[in-house]
Chains A and B, each alone.
Chain A
Amino acid sequence: MAQPRNFDFGEEEVMLRDSARKFFENKLPTDKLHALVAANPDPDRTPECLWDRDLWRQMVELGWTMLAVPEQAGGMGMKAVAVAALAEEAGRAALPSPLISTINSSYVLAACESEGASQALGYIVEGAPATLAITNSRGSWESADTDVRVENGKLEGTAWYVQDAAKADFFVVKARADDGIGLYIVPATADGVTITADAITDLTRDQAHIAFSGVDAGQVAAAPGSGDKALDQAEPCLLTVLAADMCGAAEWQLQTTVEYAKVRTQFDKPIAFFQAIKHPLVDLMVMLDQARSLVYYAACAIDWEPESAEQYSRMAKSAASDAAAFACTRSVQTHGGIGFTWECFLHLYFKRQKHNQALMGDGVYQRAKLADILMGPIAA
């Protein structure tokens, strides 16, 4: 099925995007964000989970947390381009919230098509934040890799690099059983769950590794043998949402840096006059525009040509990761000394972008996967 020319991005999507932008600008301007998450610069500080729970409740009321929950599960069932637009705005605000984790969990659960998964989608509809516990100690993004096992109906082992773990009410846990990979719903408060916060660089989220010891595996979202398939099916959505978040954040980095370069004067001229400053910022804009176009291409493919969604979403995540990385170097470098300080807000975005760059695979990783699609796997 061919994509609509306008990426299926209509009035409803424009309204959602505009209201999200206004909402974040009003509720969480960057100075307030900085006060919320960056009050303690001590590099040896104990990891803290800093976010605005009240903002989460407001987003639940607006329906944003269940945007990607299918209608038959009681959610909004919005198009992927709408979800991408919301994620872009969350990135622009560097939002500390389990919003992206919850959206990504809904995509995985929706791909499971099971009673247990429908139930869990119901929790999201009721306002519960969720996250995916799907990564092993080596940080593998492959759907078949996990350090968690199912033994006699109990989960054993540890999931690593779990995003927003301290904010989530429940986890979607990937575990290996005798018959293959399954997905299990585990409440954060379940017996045998130990959440250990990681001391991470990014101030706009929390991350943890979660140990499971004799944890009840009774709520099955995907039966053994079908969990990796559900993850593969949802992967284009996850990649697209992350890429959209990065594009929004990179646009903030670009605009903030351009504004600074226009007012910072050296050699009697605004530094934006100099092509050593001007041209790299244009290069950034070009990279960012390509990434953003690919995000909407991928998002539109999710609903209109799912057979191509993986290909396009890998292009989008690759382009967004590289644009984000370039936005990081240029924003701090162009700001000079002040950009190197804690008091300048740039570092919030810098750290979020570097974190997002690695999540679900960076540019090089995506391009290796893309080459497998377009050129076939490397001959042994």
Chain B
Amino acid sequence: MAESVKKESAEQAEFRQYCRDWLQGNIPPSPTFRMPQGPLEIMTTEQLDYLCAWQKSAYDAGMIGCDYPLEFGGGGRENCQKIANQEMQRAGTPYLPNVIGLGMACPTIFYHGQENLKRELLPKLLSGEEIWCQGFSEPGAGSDLANVQTFAEKKGDKWVINGHKIWTSLAHFASWMILLCRTSKDHKYDGLSYFVVPINAALGKGVTVRPLIKITGETGFNEVLFEDLEVDDSFRLDEVGKGWQVAMTTLLHERGAGELVTPKGGSGVKDDSEKKKGVGATALLGLAQECWRNGRCAADDPVMRDKIMQLIIRQEGSRQGARRARVQGLIDHPMRIPLQSKLVMSEVMQDVGRVALELEGAASSLYLADEHAPQEGHWPLAYLNSYGMTIAAGTSEVQKNILGERVLGMPKSK
């Protein structure tokens, strides 16, 4: 029976051991200042420096970009990133700050960029020395992404860019942006092209970054204005007019359905008592024990128990779905499960937040600055932040269009 258990390759097993050994002594101590719940909420340079130092040290140790070729700053390994991710998760390391770079820019540049661009950009992306942001959404192009109006006009061997990008996470810290813009007004989809743009170098010289404040009160995303910014033609990915296809590579990876495994750190939870609280829906089991409802423990309330079980089942169903998506005999359509993952995880996390606030009852009113707030206001903040997940990277409604159209073959809603 044991033969049917899929074994790790010798390389993978050895690498896993290496990761474990290295992580034993190299996780940075927790910072003295408050850390945001995720990289998209980084507000201060103090927070950023702490996280970037961690990414650099993990990169130098060979745990980030393991599956990318050596000449692009990768580890030149095969199927090892997921091992590094598992070990970083298990060890409770901090998360990685350069998420847009690692999850979206890196695979996009890898698949669509020219050789010298990959050599130049990928090493510092992987090490976190250069932070990346994504210039896709505009005030008039949200769910209808192909409606982007930011225009790049060809002048000699330069492109001159004018326009307005919005909801741009990390732009205030970013050296580079992946940019989707219009190069022709004659075609909607075929009139788009894709660039990488050195925005930090151009601050005040054609690029303006303005912070936006989220419903949580945190900053972290921005609007970015382009006024006659000149960009070299060598910063274009793929052909002129192929921007939409390139953007699909980005989005596929953003939604967790791409070929390349994105490097992911831990969630910064180290000590055992915190680990026992669990993540996602499992965290509600512990929370229910600490909350009161109708004069008794909330964990003894049958309705709350049912709500918690519903979420645990959805979370486990999704986890097992990710496993089933890799079993040839148990899938009907290759994209059916992968295209669900972003929709399901973001909706489950939001519902977990909603139920957590219900469990906390009156105390759910207490926010970050209140000394009596349960878990330092974690759940009100998480619930507010969860709307970022169900809106960004294609709203849940757009995800349902994609699933209905590409998987079930229903006609396009446009």
Residues of B within 8 A of A7 (CB): 323-324, 327, 330
Q: Are B410 and A281 in contact (CB under 8 A)?
A: yes
Bound complex: CA A286 to CA B346 (Å): 13
CB distance from A110 to the nearest CB of B (A): 18
CB distance from B261 to the nearest CB of A (A): 15
Q: Are A293 and B313 in contact (CB under 8 A)?
A: no
B312-352 vs A, CB cutoff 8 Å, 1 = contact: the mask equals: 11101110110110110110000011001001100000000
A284-310 vs B, CB cutoff 8 Å, 1 = contact: the mask equals: 011001111110110000000000000
Report if A315-B336 is in contact (Cβ < 8 Å); known contacts: A4-B6, A272-B404.
Answer: no
Residues of A within 8 A of B234 (CB): none
Interface residues of B in 178-203 (CB under 8 A from A): none
User: A368 within 8 Å of B by Cβ?
Assistant: yes
Report if A289-B340 is in contact (Cβ < 8 Å); known contacts: A4-B5, A275-B413, A278-B404.
Answer: yes
User: A202 within 8 Å of B by Cβ?
Assistant: no
CB distance from A337 to the nearest CB of B (A): 21
Residue A370 contacts which of B309, B327, B337, B409 (CB distance < 8 angstroms)?
Answer: B309
Residues of A within 8 A of B105 (CB): none
Residues of B within 8 A of A282 (CB): 400, 403-404, 408
Residues of A within 8 A of B407 (CB): 285
Bound complex: CA A7 to CA B409 (Å): 29
| Chain A residue nearest in CB terms to B318 | A290
Residues of B within 8 A of A258 (CB): 408-410
User: B34 within 8 Å of A by Cβ?
Assistant: no
User: A154 within 8 Å of B by Cβ?
Assistant: no
Residue B4 contacts which of A4, A14, A289, A378 (CB distance < 8 angstroms)?
Answer: A4
Bound complex: CA A124 to CA B132 (Å): 65
Residues of A within 8 A of B409 (CB): 258, 262
Pick the most buried of B300, B317, B411: most chain A CB atoms within 10 A of its CB: B317
Pick the most buried of B305, B313, B327: most chain A CB atoms within 10 A of its CB: B313
User: B27 within 8 Å of A by Cβ?
Assistant: no
Bound complex: CA A148 to CA B310 (Å): 35
Residues of B within 8 A of A270 (CB): 410-411
Residues of B within 8 A of A5 (CB): 5-6, 323, 326-327
User: B288 within 8 Å of A by Cβ?
Assistant: yes
Q: Are A367 and B397 in contact (CB under 8 A)?
A: no
Number of residue pairs across A and B with beta carbons under 8 Å? 149
User: B80 within 8 Å of A by Cβ?
Assistant: no
User: B155 within 8 Å of A by Cβ?
Assistant: no
B389-414 vs A, CB cutoff 8 Å, 1 = contact: the mask equals: 00000000100110110011111110
CB distance from B90 to the nearest CB of A (A): 15
Bound complex: CA A10 to CA B288 (Å): 41
Q: Are A10 and B4 in contact (CB under 8 A)?
A: yes
CB distance from A81 to the nearest CB of B (A): 9
Report if A279-B404 is in contact (Cβ < 8 Å); known contacts: A272-B411, A367-B306.
Answer: yes
Residues of A within 8 A of B324 (CB): 7, 289, 292-293, 296
| Chain B residue nearest in CB terms to A369 | B309
CB distance from A171 to the nearest CB of B (A): 33
User: A217 within 8 Å of B by Cβ?
Assistant: no
Report if A374-B312 is in contact (Cβ < 8 Å); known contacts: A269-B411, A296-B324.
Answer: yes
Report if A14-B329 is in contact (Cβ < 8 Å); known contacts: A262-B411, A283-B400, A375-B285.
Answer: yes
| Chain B residue nearest in CB terms to A259 | B409
Q: Are A294 and B305 in contact (CB under 8 A)?
A: no
Q: Are B408 and A273 in contact (CB under 8 A)?
A: no
Q: Are B343 and A286 in contact (CB under 8 A)?
A: yes
CB distance from A362 to the nearest CB of B (A): 12
Bound complex: CA A347 to CA B320 (Å): 31
| Chain A residue nearest in CB terms to B296 | A379
User: A2 within 8 Å of B by Cβ?
Assistant: yes
| Chain B residue nearest in CB terms to A376 | B299
Residues of A within 8 A of B401 (CB): 275, 278
Bound complex: CA A261 to CA B405 (Å): 12
CB distance from A23 to the nearest CB of B (A): 18
User: A97 within 8 Å of B by Cβ?
Assistant: no
CB distance from B317 to the nearest CB of A (A): 3
Report if A378-B300 is in contact (Cβ < 8 Å); known contacts: A13-B329, A315-B313, A371-B306.
Answer: yes
User: B31 within 8 Å of A by Cβ?
Assistant: no
Q: Are A319 and B317 in contact (CB under 8 A)?
A: yes
Extra inter-chain contacts (4) besides given A368-B309, A379-B297, CB under 8 Å: A6-B326, A292-B324, A294-B316, A367-B313
**Closest 10 A-B residue pairs measured CB to CB?**
A290-B317, A293-B320, A272-B410, A367-B309, A371-B305, A14-B329, A278-B404, A293-B321, A282-B400, A297-B320
Between-chain CB contacts (< 8 Å), 13 pairs: A14-B329, A272-B411, A278-B401, A282-B403, A282-B408, A285-B407, A286-B344, A292-B324, A293-B323, A312-B316, A315-B317, A368-B309, A374-B309
